[in-house]
Every structure is written in C-alpha cells, then in structure tokens.
Amino acid sequence: MTDAPEQPQIYLITPSEFDLSSFPDTISSCLDATPVACVRLALGTRDEEKIARAADALREVTHERDVALVIDSHVQLVERLGLDGVHLTDASRSVLKMRKELDDDAIIGAYCGQSSHDGMTAGELGADYVAFGPVGASALGDGETAPKDLFQWWSQMIEVPVVAEGALTDQLIADFAPFTDFFGIGDEIWTSDNAKSRLLDFVAAMS
C-alpha cells in the first residue's frame, strides 16, 4: 500500500488543436515555470503529417528539459516519432497488447473513466499509470465524474500511480491533492489569457 505524495506532480495535456508557430513557446514557458513530469500530445486530428510535425516540435521542447512526451492513442507512432509512450483511452483493453509491442521502457497509461475495476485491471496488465476523470463537472461524455473517494481508496490500496484530470478548478485541485499522484492539466490553462500564470495558480492550490 502507498499514499499519494504530499504534493502531486504536473502532467500537461496539449489542446486538441494548436498553432505550431506559437504553442511550443507557450508550453516551454510552463515547463520552465514549474516542474512537470509528463506532457501528453492529444491532438484531435488523425492526419499523420500534422501529428508528426507537432510531435517533432514538442519533442524538442520536452526532451531538452528531461520531460517525458507521450501520445494519445496513436500507438503506431510512438517509436516512429521517438516518443516516450502512449496514453490509452480504452481503459484496460489494450494495455497487455501494447506492453508486448512497445519497448520495455515505454510509458503506458490508461484512462479508465470512473471505474476502479478497469483501473486495477490496467495496473495488473502493466500500465505505468491510471487516469480517472473527469474530476469536475463537464458537458462532455455522460456527465459522470470521478469522485474524491475513488482517489482516496486508490491512494490507500493501490501502488500504481494515479492521475486526476478533467474540468479541474482551484478548489478541486486543493481537495484532491492529498489523494492523487498527478494532475492532468490541459484546457484549464490553455484557454486562459496566460497559461503559465494559470498553471502556477494550480500549483499554489495544491499546497
């Protein structure tokens, strides 16, 4: 058994679309402002050329700062683009297959919605982390949220690191900080006027 760390780590999630002429500078300022454990490339497009250009730009930024870069779902692009791993969105279903296909050092994460069962299964099959969400109220999906007691139970009983993500607010950050290993932060900062400043607000809320 393990407890979540005193202060969770930051896991940044890119917007589903961004301008390659400006976003690398924006995310660089965030990475330079506070320690970040991982960045997830989460583009909404299936255009391989667009994904590759974005991955090239972000890989330069992240690897220069020793920050891991994973990609959302596109497993076949991990090794080709020199990325550190993949974030799976089908709960535990693909974890075992991906663990066999990817390099032993590759990061494999699994988004499991609000299901502790899927989370435990993903961990047993080799996921390096499990993500639950959305934590906050969102119009996306079925409106269900991942409750705090799920994270409380997980932090007491399960050793696999857990990510809290989705519709985060300062209050939710403060409430969930004792029970999660990472906060997955994305549009909450990218849609603000100053992403770095908003990120630092969240960091302050953790403590």
Mean per-residue pLDDT of the chain: 95
Say if residue 119's pLDDT is above 50: yes
pTM for the full predicted model: 0.95
Find the mean pLDDT for residues 31-38. Answer: 98
Find the mean pLDDT for residues 200-207. Answer: 97
Find the mean pLDDT for residues 98-107. Answer: 92
- What is the pLDDT, as a whole number, of residue 92? 95
Find the mean pLDDT for residues 6-24. Answer: 96
Band of residue 3 on the pLDDT scale cut at 50, 70, 90: low
- What is the pLDDT, as a whole number, of residue 140? 67
- What is the pLDDT, as a whole number, of residue 197? 98
Task: Count other Cβ atoms within 10 Å, centred on residue 166.
Answer: 26
- Domains of the chain plus CATH, in order, are 9-206 (3.20.20.70)
191 burial type by CB count under 10 A (0-12 exposed, 13-18 middle, 19+ buried): exposed
Say if residue 206's pLDDT is above 60: yes
User: Model confidence over 48-76: pLDDT tens digits?
Assistant: 999 999 999 999 999 999 999 999 999 99
Band of residue 46 on the pLDDT scale cut at 50, 70, 90: very high
- What is the pLDDT, as a whole number, of residue 138? 81
Say if residue 4's pLDDT is above 60: no
Residue % of the chain over a pLDDT of 90:
93
The helix or strand, by DSSP H or E, that contains position 48, with its residue range, turns out to be: helix 48-64
Nearest to 19, CA basis, from 47, 46, 58: 58
Say if residue 151's pLDDT is above 90: yes
Taking the C-alpha atoms of residue 17 and residue 12, their distance in angstroms, rounded to an integer, is: 14
Taking the C-alpha atoms of residue 87 and residue 40, their distance in angstroms, rounded to an integer, is: 8
- What is the pLDDT, as a whole number, of residue 1? 36
- What is the pLDDT, as a whole number, of residue 2? 47
